[in-house]
Amino acid sequence: MSDYMSEESDGEYYYDDDEVMGSDRAEDEDTEESEGEEADYGSMEMSVTALSKPKKKVYEVDYECLATSDIDKSMAKEAELLCSMLGVDISTSYQLLRFMNWNKEKLIDKFMEDPDAVKEKAGIADTPPKFTLPSVAPPPAPAPAPVASSSSSNSRRTTRSSNKTAAPPPPVVDEGWSCPICCCEPEPPTGVMALECNHAFCTDCWQTYLTGKIREEGEHSIRCMESGCNDLVSDTVILGTVPDAPKEGSVVLDDETKDKFKELLVRFFVQCNSALRFCPAPGCDYTVQCAAASTKSSLETTVPTVRCTNGHSFCFGCGEEGDHRPLICTIAKLWLKKCQDDSETANWIKTNTKECPKCHSTIEKNGGCNHMTCKKCKNEFCWVCMGPWSEHGNAWYSCNRYEEKEGVDARDAQSKSRASLERYLHYYNRWANHEQSARLSLDLYAKTEKKMQEMQETSELTWIQVQFAKKAVDEVIKCRMTLKWTYAMGYYLEKSNQKELFEDNQRDLEKAVEALSELLERPIEPETVASLRQQITDKTVYVLKRNEVMLEDTANGFLEGRWAWNTSISPFIE
Amino acid sequence: MSSRATALRRLMTEYKQLTANGAPDNMFTAGPISEDNFFEWEALIMGPKDTPYEGGVFAAKLTFPSDYPLSPFKMKFDPPLFHPNIYKDGNVCISILHAPGDDPTGYELSSERWSPVQSVEKVLLSVVSMLAEPNLESGANIDCCKVYRENRPEFERIVRQQIRDMLGV
């Protein structure tokens, strides 16, 4: 956000600067606009008024960037709230919330109705164990339990019911017990662990199981190993934070696995909360909170482009990296899919080729007469009627008559298919061109850096005075991004007056961007550098304004429902 | 401790239990083909009553991985059996033998799949009930599924014929 603010204030600065500086700028702009439509002036004025307001623009959204620790805090806050409300301990509270996909209201509702049923479904047992293993010894009534077993049971009890003061539960295992999985015979209590359900396994097996579940399957709610047993392994067992736990009889997972588990918890929380989204940039662990774009319907009218603290910008709505303004998520996705599909390749093949009637090889005719000989199967046929050529050399020749009716139909069908292909290619080429230019932005920055150096050496301009060039490159790249997506939008817009206005805006922006790009390519000469600087500065401001106009007008169009699409977008809005 | 040693200990225990207790209703027997190699077992399964498989005795080979019981074993009927959930090469497709995380069919619950607390005995019991009630939702032998669904008498005839061929009568 701070980035944005500084950029904007820069813009304002330039703007004010321009007002003071020179009338030649105004002249320049006039010639630019001379072919423009009146509507453009109208929207320009609008943008001027919008610019003078420090408030957020119509195409921007409010959002906040959160670190993992912030997420941890909000998770803890919710869990603690539930703790006091439902009268459960904190670990149980976390597990109940996860079970209900962090839907607090639903959890409270259900819990008030029937706490035991919810707990049982969630796999949180605080009832006496119902199952007994064949090897589990019956609780020796008054007799002193073997020291080993009692301390083992103590260790597992503390996992969840630390508030329980009831008599010590029956021992988990008997002497001579062996783990049902690996058949080892560990020394109780150090080697044995069981949850509330009393399904005992050796700690080695538990460790392998938990590590696998966390690292390979990415599960955040892990059940008891016994098949069919619903009991959850509590977080405290996994994280090894059992309050005043004796070291024996408990599982010790390595730190990497514990970190992964914590990450899974955070990921799940973010996933459940529609107002949160992870930064999609690899290795970035910031989360963006954006309440304005948390519903599906809001995405039909807004493009919530956000930027995390690390500076990665992405769309909050669809998670697409970069910025696909002004086009809304559903249509942007549609376009990307269309470009990725090779359906257009098929379209080309359909338009430009025919198949050999015999072996069905695809043939493109690039000249010569209509007597075709298939290279593969040596079949000879007529390109026009697709019939065998042998009939063309004798008295039954009928290719001309055949063409009269069928040929006209075929030509019609072909030109239609060609027109839709050409339309797509028109938009695609322009889209791809801007994308390519944006991709070369790193080169452009390097080149500009050099130029700025050169300017400082050959003229009297100071470092601060040559920053205009970098600013101009920033703006060009930003605008190319906008332009790129306007072409995708143009492809899907129904032909109408609104679309013409849209295209006018697009043209003005593109023309200005190209002009600015060209200025940036100009060689630096000591005598003209001052005027070049002037021109570039002016153009940058103009481009910035045109970009605002473009974005604002399209955003308003979405809000007003002004855009008509030539494709049905409803099935894509879930 | 090496996983192979664990696997061996576990297999020996399972073998001991199976021989000591026997299978319920003597529906099957299982054990290593040779005492030298505990990782290759042979199982003999009786065709369940009131099914077309009744009267047949089917041999299957069980192959255990070295990290058993973390990973499930493989089961292959030899000769192959005509059944919707048995591939034409005899391999058995049953959810309890699929490791969690690897789901060839896409709709099995994690809880129905292999876990280290399963055992040869439990799997063979599942296979017996699979013989009685094929699961058409995840067919392994598509042709067989088709016959089973569309022409049950024909399916039963093929199965009976196969059993007769196997027994050589």
B115/A225 Cβ within 8 A? yes
Tens of each residue's pLDDT in chain A, 574 residues: 444 444 444 434 444 444 444 444 444 444 444 443 444 444 444 444 444 445 677 888 888 888 888 888 988 898 888 888 888 888 888 888 888 888 888 888 888 888 888 888 888 865 443 333 333 333 333 433 333 333 333 334 334 433 333 334 445 566 678 888 888 887 766 778 888 788 888 888 888 888 888 888 788 888 888 877 888 888 888 887 765 444 446 778 888 898 889 888 888 898 888 888 888 888 888 888 888 877 777 888 888 888 888 888 888 888 888 888 888 888 888 888 888 776 567 667 767 777 777 777 778 877 777 777 877 777 887 777 777 777 666 555 556 655 555 556 656 666 676 677 778 888 888 888 888 887 787 788 888 888 888 888 888 888 888 888 889 998 998 899 899 999 989 999 988 888 899 999 999 999 999 999 888 888 888 788 888 889 999 999 999 999 999 999 998 888 888 888 887 665 444 3
The number of distinct structural domains making up chain B is 1
The fraction of chain B above a pLDDT of 90, given in percent, is 47
B1 chain-A contacts, CB cut-off 8 A: 184
CB-count burial class (<10 Å; 0-12, 13-18, 19+) for A288: buried
User: Nearest CA to B48 among B97, B83, B78?
Assistant: B83
Q: Which residue from A minimizes the CA distance to B68?
A: A182
Tell whether the model's pLDDT for residue B98 goes beyond 60.
Answer: yes
Burial class (CB in 10 A: 0-12, 13-18, 19+), A254: exposed
Three-state secondary structure of A528-573: CHHHHHHHHHHHHHHHHHHHHHHHHHHHHHHHHCCCCECCCCHHHC
Angle at A108 between CA A103 and CA A112, to 5 degrees: 155
Task: Say whether residue A133 is in contact with chain B using an 8 A CB cutoff.
Answer: no
Percentage of chain B with pLDDT > 70?
Answer: 91
| pLDDT tens digits, A199-218 | 888 888 888 888 888 888 78
Angle, helices A2-20 vs A529-560, to 10°: value is: 120
| Contacting B residues, span 60-89, partner chain A, CB-CB under 8 Å | 69-70
CATH number at residue B23: 3.10.110.10
The 3-class secondary structure across A86-133, one letter per residue, is HCCCHHHHHHHHHHCCCCHHHHHHHHHHCHHHHHHHHCCCCCCCCCCC
Active site residue A356: no
Q: Which of A179, A272, A308, A369 is catalytic?
A: A369
**B146 has a chain A CB within 8 A of its CB:** no
Question: Looking at the complex, does the CB of residue B2 fall below 8 Å from at least one CB of chain A?
Answer: no
Instruction: Verify whether the Cβ–Cβ distance B111 to A228 is below 8 Å.
Output: yes
pLDDT at B103 over 60: no
Show Cβ contacts of residue B58 under 8 Å, excluding neighbours closer than 6 positions: B44, B45, B47, B77, B81, B166
pTM for this one? 0.65
B10, A181: Cβ pair inside 8 Å? yes
Residues B91 and B76: their CA atoms lie apart, in Å, by 4
What pLDDT sits at residue A423? Answer: 83
Angle, alpha carbons A303-A309-A313 (nearest 5°):
35
Hey, what amino acid is at A572? F
SS3 (DSSP) at A7: helix
> Chain B: nearest CA to A181, how far in angstroms?
6
Cα–Cα distance between A339 and A491 in angstroms, integer? 12
Question: Which residues of chain B neighbour A121 with C-beta distances below 8 Å?
Answer: none
Which position has the token pair 């997972």? Answer: A253
Say yes or no for a CB contact (<8 Å) between A182 and B101.
Answer: no
pLDDT value of position B156 = 93
- The secondary element (H helix, E strand) that includes residue A78 is helix A68-86
Confidence (pLDDT) at A8: 40
Backbone angles phi, psi at A176, to 5 degrees: 75, 15
Query: Which of A465, A551, A481, A557 is closest to A513 using CA atoms?
Result: A481
Are the Cβ atoms of A184 and B111 closer than 8 angstroms? no
Nearest-by-Cβ selection for B101 from A208, A216, A226: A216
B111/A208 CB distance under 8 A: no
Within A114-202, residue ranges assigned H as helices are 115-122, 147-157
Selected residue of B12, B15, B117 to mutate for chain A interface (largest A Cβ count, 10 A): B117
Expressed as residue numbers, the domain containing B114 is: 3-167
Pairing of strands B37-46, A192-194: unpaired
Q: Which residues on B lie below 8 Å from A228 (Cβ)?
A: 111
Quick check: B100 contacting A, CB < 8 Å? yes
CB contact under 8 Å between A181 and B69, yes or no, is yes
Q: Do A212 and B70 touch (CB under 8 A)?
A: yes
Q: How much is the pLDDT for A540?
A: 93
- CA-nearest residue of chain A to B102? A217
pLDDT at position A386 is 74
Summarize pLDDT for B28-87 with one digit per residue, the tens: 999 999 888 899 999 999 999 889 998 889 999 999 999 888 889 999 998 899 999 999
Q: What is the CATH number of domain A420-560?
A: 1.20.120.1750
Element (H, E) at B29: strand B28-34
Rounded to whole angstroms, the Cα distance separating A519 from A448 reads 12
Q: Do B116 and A217 touch (CB under 8 A)?
A: no
| pLDDT of B21 above 90 | no
Using CA coordinates, name the residue in chain B closest to A199: B117
* Domain definitions of chain A by residue range: 133-138+146-261, 356-417, 420-560
Is A184 in Cβ contact with B6 (below 8 Å)?
yes
Structure confidence at residue A132 (pLDDT): 37
Q: What integer pLDDT is reported at residue A378 of this predicted model?
A: 78
CA distances from B97 to A163, A193, A399, B93, B126 (A): 41, 26, 65, 7, 10
Q: Is B9 on the interface with A (CB under 8 A)?
A: yes
Q: Pick from B1, B2, B6 the residue to mutate for testing the A interface (most A CBs within 10 Å).
A: B6
CA distance B56 to chain A (A): 31
Task: Note whether A181 contacts B100, CB cutoff 8 Å.
Answer: no
- Structure token digits, residue B56: 């047949």
- Of residues B1, B101, B117, nearest to A226 (C-beta): B117
Q: Which residues contact A396 (CB under 8 A, 6 or more apart)?
A: none
Distance from CA of B148 to the nearest CA of A (A): 31
A69 in contact with B, Cβ within 8 Å: no
Size of interface A-B (CB pairs under 8 A): 36
